[in-house]
Structure formats: C-alpha cells, structure tokens
C-alpha cells in the first residue's frame, strides 16, 4: 500500500511543481478572475494527467507491477487515479462555470477586456480556431466521465453492466485529450510540463485505442480447455481444471489470471488454485458463487469447452526471509494457499520455514475440508480451521495463542477486506512492521 500512496501523491506533487514552473504568474494574481484563469489551467492539467495514467494502467503493463506490489495494487492505484480525476474534473468544471454564474446573477462584474494581441504562431492560431468545439466536447465528455466513474464505484451495479459502460470511458478520454490540447496555454508546450503532458496523453491515447479494439492483455492470452469440474456444495464453490495450450509461461503459487469462458461476459479475475507442472500443463480455479456470473458457472461450463486465460499476474508469491509464515485465508480466500501447499509438497521447500495456515469459514463442506487437510499434511503445514458458528471468529489474539513465534513471522492474508484490515491494525498495535511483513491481496478489480 505504501508504494501506491507514494505513487499517487508523487505524481500530483511533480505535476504541481512543473505547472508552477510553467505558469509562475499565479504568485502575482489579483482578483477572482485572474485566480479563476490559473485554477482552470491547473485543475485541467491534473485532471487529464490522472486520467492518462489511469488509462495506461488499464493496459495491465508489466513494468510497474513489481514495484507497486502486483496487479491488484495497480488496479487500486487505477481506482484512486479515477477518483482523483473525478474530483479534480468537478473542480475544473466549477472554476469554468462558477464565475460565469456569478456574473449572470449580478454578484460579479466582468472586467473590461482590452484588445487581444494578434497571434503570430500559425499552430497557436489554428488551435484557437478549435476552441468552441473543444469546449463543447470537453463539457459533454466531462458529464459522461462523471457518470461512468460513478457507475464504476457503485458496487451494486452488476459486473456485466459495469464492464459494458466502462468500455465507453476511452471514447470520453480521447475527447478530453482533444479538449486539453486545444485549451491548455500554448506556452506550456514549450516547457517540461508540456513534454510530460504530451507523453502522458500520447500513451493514454494509445491505451484508449487498444482498449476500444479489445486488445488489453492480448499478448498474455493462452487458449485452454476445461477438462474437469467438481462441485463443493457446502461452500458453494466450483473447482475448474483447465488444460493449457502452448504459450502458457507457468505461474507462481499465489498468482491469478483472467479467464474468459463467454466473450459477452468478458474476462473475470480468479486466483489460480494449483501449482504449475509443465508436464501436466493444467491449472485450476476455485470459484465461489457470489454474483450472477459466478453463480451460473456450474451450469454454463462443460468439459471440453474452450476458455481464454490471460496472465499470470500478481506478487502474492510468499517470497520473504522470515523463519515463520502465518497464512490467513478467509472463505474462498484459501485459494492461493492451496496452490502454495501443492508447490511445497512437490518441492519440499516448507522444511526451511514454520508455516501456520488459518482458514476461517462460515460454511462447511466435508470434502473441501478433507482436501485442505490432505494438502496441509503433504506440505508439512500447521493447519488451523475455524468454523465461525462453531469456533467463533478468528482474531489476532487467537493467532498469537496458536503461534508463539508470531513476532518473527510474516503474514499473508487473502479474504474479505474488512477482515484483513482488522488483523492488520491489530498486529500493527502489537509492534509488527506491517508495511514490510503484512501481505494482503487487494482482490478487487473495480
């Protein structure tokens, strides 16, 4: 999380410094109309920059994944950039229109404007001619962006509708790029700020076009075939085993992938529930029936059905130097730990660490729990299963009672976000350096 925060505020700080260097006149501004001019430009710079970076991250690029801590963290930054763009754009819209309203209501008097200096640069003159269409497109694109980002943030909107509407954002973004190029102060383009803006908008426009063509992640897609399906009705979970075709690079336990079984539904992210063996060339997913799509999978998936798998992604890979690891899987959050146990059982790496796995669940399926116990035994993992109706809820105190060496441990959590936040706070209050040792999968793509 720390690197995400640093990235967000670092971007805003650098852009602010570049803007002040390009337009220092704000320090001598007097009167509301002068301030309005500078604030319109500043908010416009921040708004299009946040949108450009969010658009770039939507491509799921590989280069920032390791530093940010995985694609799940990248998508959290993508979300924050979208929220930042929304807030700044609303401010920009208000700065543009608020003074106009005040003048119309008789609250302010517009100062007399002297004769305009003739524009000698032909490119600047050309851009000035495009001012009216740029303002028109910018305003209506702003309304579209506000609506689309709001839909993305409202979790009650079904994923399918969210995905369809979200695909319209690149169109609005391209219109706002045109708006920004035309209406930004022409002198900006001859400064470092202009270079940074040009690079970001060019990269963002490329990302928008790739998105509109439906090519996001295309270079990491591999065709597979469903070979086996197994239901665990007690916990409403479906296990899907897929034989991977040529091109799958293999994955580390704890990583996830996007799976597409129905092009109309699009790609959905799932943690991979198996270790990789090149001789078998298969992966498994555990899918809990939580929504419309996942509830239908047990009826729509069939052995022999082709699926497209994109990935692997993620840095939740259990790599650290701690002598003790404490794994916590809430509900279907047990998935990455199953993959890791399979890996350890094959490679014997667990012998160098003491590992405790806590599985907290509100539902019971005897077959699923027996499989979990078998995996833990094969990997030499200390398994602690807590059924909330029978054993109560898992807390930091219970973990510390079971693991006396907890001060030397690293923590790996996958499960409900609120549950993870509570444990994170609890152990932080006990002096654990959580920024270094508490690893949490932020498995939310919106």
Q: Looking at the chain, which residues constitute the CATH 3.40.50.80 domain(s)?
A: 324-440
In angstroms, what CA-CA distances link 427 with 353, 430, 432, 437, 439?
21, 5, 6, 10, 12
Report helix, strand or coil for 317. coil
Q: Do 421 and 441 contact (CB within 8 A), yes or no? A: no
Profile the chain (446 residues) by mean pLDDT over runs of 10 residues: 87 97 91 92 97 96 88 91 94 92 85 76 91 94 91 79 85 97 95 98 98 93 96 92 95 94 86 93 91 83 96 92 95 93 81 89 90 94 93 94 96 93 96 93 68
Q: What angle do CA 60, 61, 64 make, to 5 degrees?
A: 115
Q: Which CATH architecture has domain 218-313?
A: Beta Barrel (2.40)
Could you tell me how far CA 420 lies from the centroid of its own chain? 17
Q: Do 405 and 378 contact (CB within 8 A), yes or no? A: no
**Residue in this structure with the two tokens 């390791």, named with its chain if needed:** 66
pLDDT of residue 446: 60
pLDDT of residue 115: 73
Q: Which CATH architecture has domain 2-212?
A: Up-down Bundle (1.20)
d(CA 304, CA 427): 47
pLDDT of residue 444: 66
d(CA 442, CA 72): 5
Q: Looking at the chain, which residues constitute the CATH 2.40.30.10 domain(s)?
A: 218-313
Q: Which CATH architecture has domain 324-440?
A: 3-Layer(aba) Sandwich (3.40)
d(CA 33, CA 25): 13
The pairing of strands 306-313 and 282-288 is unpaired
pLDDT of residue 151: 84
The DSSP code for 115 is P
pLDDT of residue 262: 85
pLDDT of residue 171: 96
d(CA 433, CA 418): 19
d(CA 85, CA 146): 9
d(CA 194, CA 295): 49
Q: Looking at the chain, which residues constitute the CATH 1.20.120 domain(s)?
A: 2-212
d(CA 420, CA 163): 27
- Render pLDDT for 82-106 as a digit per residue (tens, 0 to 9): 999 999 999 999 999 998 898 889 8
**Residue in this structure with the two tokens 């450009």, named with its chain if needed:** 52
pLDDT of residue 364: 86
d(CA 146, CA 162): 14
Residue 225's DSSP bridge partners are: 243, 306
pLDDT of residue 293: 78
Q: Where are the strands (E) in 184-330, listed by range?
A: 221-232, 237-244, 256-260, 268-271, 282-288, 306-313, 324-330
pLDDT of residue 109: 82
Q: Which of 330, 48, 323 is nearest to 199 (CA)?
A: 48
Q: Do 322 and 236 contact (CB within 8 A), yes or no? A: no
Q: Mark out the alpha helices in 154-257 (DSSP H runs).
A: 159-166, 169-183, 192-212
């Amino acid at each position: 999380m720390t690197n995400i925060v640093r990235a967000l505020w670092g971007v805003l700080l650098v852009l602010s410094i570049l803007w002040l260097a390009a337009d220092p006149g704000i320090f001598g501004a007097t009167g509301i109309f002068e301030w309005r001019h500078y604030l319109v430009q500043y908010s416009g710079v921040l708004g299009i920059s946040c949108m450009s970076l969010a658009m770039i991250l939507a491509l799921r690029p590989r280069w920032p994944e390791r530093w940010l801590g995985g694609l799940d963290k990248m998508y959290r930054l993508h979300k924050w950039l979208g929220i930042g763009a929304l807030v700044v754009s609303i401010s920009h819209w208000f700065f543009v229109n608020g003074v106009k309203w005040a003048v119309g209501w008789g609250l302010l008097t517009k100062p007399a404007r002297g004769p305009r200096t003739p524009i000698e640069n032909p490119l600047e003159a050309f851009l000035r001619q495009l001012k009216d269409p740029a303002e028109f497109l910018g305003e209506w694109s702003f309304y579209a962006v506000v609506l689309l980002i709001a839909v993305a943030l409202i979790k009650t909107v079904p994923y399918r509708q969210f995905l369809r509407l979200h695909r319209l954002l690149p169109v609005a973004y391209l219109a706002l790029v045109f708006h920004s190029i035309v209406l930004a102060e022409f002198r900006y383009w001859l400064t470092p700020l202009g270079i940074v803006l040009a690079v970001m908008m060019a990269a963002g426009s490329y990302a928008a076009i790739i998105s509109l063509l439906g090519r996001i992640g295309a270079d990491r897609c591999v065709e597979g075939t469903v070979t086996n399906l197994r239901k665990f009705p007690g916990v409403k979970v479906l296990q899907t085993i897929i034989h991977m075709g040529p091109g799958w690079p293999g994955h580390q336990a704890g990583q996830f992938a996007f799976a597409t079984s129905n092009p109309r539904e699009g790609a959905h992210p799932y943690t991979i529930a198996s270790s990789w063996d090149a001789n078998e060339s298969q992966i498994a997913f555990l899918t809990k029936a939580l929504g419309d799509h996942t509830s239908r999978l047990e009826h729509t998936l069939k052995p022999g059905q082709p699926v497209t798998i994109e990935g692997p992604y993620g840095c939740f890979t259990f790599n650290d130097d701690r002598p003790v690891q404490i794994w916590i899987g809430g509900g279907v959050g047990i998935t990455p730990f199953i993959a890791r146990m399979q890996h350890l059982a094959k490679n014997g790496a667990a012998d160098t660490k003491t590992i405790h796995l806590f599985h907290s669940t509100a539902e019971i399926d005897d077959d699923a729990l027996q499989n979990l116990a078998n995996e833990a035994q094969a990997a030499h993992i200390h398994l602690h299963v807590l059924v909330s109706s029978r054993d109560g809820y898992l807390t930091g105190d219970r973990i510390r009672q079971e693991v006396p060496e907890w001060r030397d441990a690293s923590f790996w959590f996958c499960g409900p976000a609120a549950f993870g936040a509570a444990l994170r706070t609890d152990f932080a209050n006990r002096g654990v350096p959580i920024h270094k040792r508490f690893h949490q999968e932020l498995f939310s793509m919106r």
